[in-house]
Structure formats: C-alpha cells, structure tokens
Chain A
Amino acid sequence: DVVLTQTPPTLSATIGQSVSISCRSSQSLLHSNGNTYLNWLLQRPGQPPQLLIYLVSRLESGVPNRFSGSGSGTDFTLKISGVEAEDLGVYYCVQSTHAPLTFGSGTKLEIK
C-alpha cells in the first residue's frame, strides 16, 4: 500500500502567517493516464472533512485562494498564504492513484 507521510504532525501559526505542509508518498503518484491523484482535505473540529485541493494543485470551488498545492511524483506541499482563524483543524493528503486509496496521518494546525 502507498504510505503518505505528512509533516509536521502539528503546526502552530499566528494570524497572517504563511505555512506549508508536506506530504511525501512511498511511491510515485503519477498515474499512467498522466494525472496525479493527490488531494488535500481540511477537517475542522467536529466537522466532516472538506476538499481543498484536487489533482495536486487545483483549487476546489469556493475554497479561498490563500490555499495552494504543488508538487509532483512523491513530494507534495499544501501552502496557506496568510492563515486565518477559520483555517484551524486537521489537514490530510489523500491519494487515489494506487489501490487501495490511502490517507496521510494528518497535520493539526493550531492558531496562536
């Protein structure tokens, strides 16, 4: 199974600070069809997860553009340019290039 390693496990940020979360895969997530099925989710406290980014870097409709995704192959990054209070929660990367689908272990963002 593909293992997704997220770092850091926890992140503490002040309002307005820019932060990055890393997601490293145990194997390339480039599919034979040319797509890379790596998404980012945010789970706010007490809520189901919501989709932020799909196909590595595409912003889901309605998601603020302070969120951005980048990367290729095995290394991926979620960046928040100017953290806001509503961004607190746990961020997960998830891959669906290879079966079975797997999630990263999560990065908890706390607001100082």
Chain B
Amino acid sequence: EVQLVESGGGLVQPGSPLKLSCAASGFTFSSNWLNWIRQAPGKGLEWVASINPDGSSTYYPDTVKGRFVVSKDNAKNTGYLQMNNLRSEDTAMYYCARYNKGFDYWGQGVMVTVSS
C-alpha cells in the first residue's frame, strides 16, 4: 500500500526556519517525482516545490524561491522541505504528493502556522 506521511509542522515565529519530512512507503521512491503542495486555511491548492526522481533537479514557484529547499533521500525513502525565513502568508497545511501520471498519492498533510 502506498503511503506518504508528513511530519515536522508546528507553530513558528516569522523569520524562523522549519523542516518538513515526508516518509514514503509501498512504492519505489527513487523512481518518482516528489512534490509539496500547500493549502492556506479555507483557500485553494498552491504548488510549493518539486524534485525529480534522483534528486538532481528542483523546481519552485517565485513565491518561495530562495527561501524553500526541497530534497529527497532515496536511501531513506524520505523527502524534505526546508523552509527558511517563514512569513505569515506561509501558514498552511502542507501536503507531500507523488507525481506519476498525475498527483496520484497524497499524504494527510501537516500544519504550519507562522505567527508571533
């Protein structure tokens, strides 16, 4: 059974860093793209980061470029999202999702709240 489990969320102050993890199981993690997508409370979905199967290429929207870093450890079947210089507008539920032919598997999400 394919599973993605996020961890590492919480309440942080503006300007603080936070690192999210996404533990994968039930599929060949090293053969799949990993993505992070967020959803602010009561809002729609926003793509945050993508990393290719071997981890050699990463992609970000302008809203997080230079602040967020996505990575994956294929030996540990785990993906990461390092978030730096967090802002109040980064407050959201963060999901990791596998991209195969579409976003076919999602984690349950982890909440990140940025507030003083």
Contact = CB atoms under 8 A, between A and B. Distances in A.
A25 B68 CA distance: 28
Contacts of A53: 102
- The size class of the interface chain A forms with chain B is 20 to 34
A103 B44 contact: yes
A94 B45 contact: yes
A96 B101 CA distance: 10
A55 interface: yes
Given A48-B95, A48-B108, A103 B45 contact: yes
A56 to B, nearest CB: 11
Contacts, number: 52
Given A99-B59, A100-B61, A101-B50, A51 B44 contact: no
Interface in A53-97: 53-55, 58, 60, 90, 92, 94, 96
Contacts of A94: 45, 102-103
A93 to B, nearest CB: 10
Given A99-B59, A100-B59, A100-B61, A49 B45 contact: yes
13 contacts: A39-B102, A41-B103, A43-B45, A48-B109, A49-B45, A49-B97, A55-B102, A90-B44, A92-B44, A100-B59, A100-B62, A101-B47, A103-B47
Interface of B: 44-47, 50, 59, 61-62, 95, 97, 99, 101-104, 106-109
Interface of A: 39, 41, 43, 48-51, 53-55, 58, 60, 90, 92, 94, 96, 99-106
